[in-house]
Homo-oligomer: A and B are copies of this chain.
């Protein structure tokens, strides 16, 4: 079991590594968050490359250090891009992080997620409760929001744990408290702030931070947990100095960039529970 202090130390170490190596994170992501996730990648200390043309998917995997796949605003062309890049990244052993935005909301998105998981050796999946549930239940009766009233947190966690074990992947379910599991171990992250829900793309950006961390940290469970702790803490700092969603987003980039090791040592709340 990793104790809370060890998670802080690990987070500090990973951030140092990122800033020393500046890994390149290839994003195939949605139109809404292309700018904001590129900025988050830079604020963390990594380098973004946004590209989706079939003609360059293989070429980019030759120098990318992580692949971030996000199915928001998808069309069939983009799903093909993700599968091409994913296969190529898989051959090179590059970590692949999937954000199944809106999976469960429409059959098209649920099927895109299924296809990607079938064709691509995804390392980490990051979604909210309803998106993660779409991976292990039929989509009937599940909607983008309101999942908390349909299913208890416990049910989602049990399903995620079981699915992570079956698929041999890390699954991160983000919410008021984040839950990350690889089917053996499980971690809770308490950092975060309700203001994240008032700004578009903050979930996608959480996935981006995980991608940056996975680019330098070989244990994806640890990478995901430390990433979500650091990101959540940056949100806490941003909320403290902002007055609404506009200033919160600006302050979030600032906080990710200026985060001190002291703050990480003292204020991260990451706890291994299994």
Contact = CB atoms under 8 A, between A and B. Distances in A.
B247 A254 contact: yes
B52 A75 contact: yes
A31 B50 contact: yes
A264 to B, nearest CB: 16
B199 A49 contact: no
Given A49-B144, A106-B56, A199 B245 contact: no
Q: Which of the listed residues A22, A197, A245, A258 has the most CB atoms from chain B within 10 Å of its own CB?
A: A245
Interface in A238-252: 242-247, 249-252
A106 B59 contact: yes
A143 B63 contact: yes
A74 to B, nearest CB: 6
Interface in A209-247: 242-247
Interface string A247-267: 101111111111000000000
B53 A75 contact: yes
Contact of A60 (B56, B106, B255): B106
A48 B200 contact: yes
Count of chain copies: 3
Interface stretch (A36-44, A89-97, A156-164): A36-44
A200 B143 contact: no
A136 interface: no
A177 interface: no
Contacts of A73: 34, 50-53
Nearest to A146: B22
A109 interface: yes
B246 A109 contact: no
A35 interface: yes
Contact of A254 (B22, B32, B243): B243
Nearest to A45: B198
25 contacts: A31-B34, A31-B50, A34-B73, A35-B36, A39-B199, A39-B200, A39-B249, A42-B197, A42-B245, A43-B198, A49-B105, A51-B102, A53-B76, A53-B108, A54-B75, A55-B76, A59-B106, A63-B105, A63-B144, A243-B258, A244-B255, A246-B249, A246-B251, A247-B251, A247-B253
Pairs of residues from A and B, 10 with the lowest C-beta to C-beta distance, nearest first: A244-B254, A246-B253, A38-B200, A246-B250, A59-B106, A56-B106, A55-B108, A56-B108, A244-B257, A246-B254
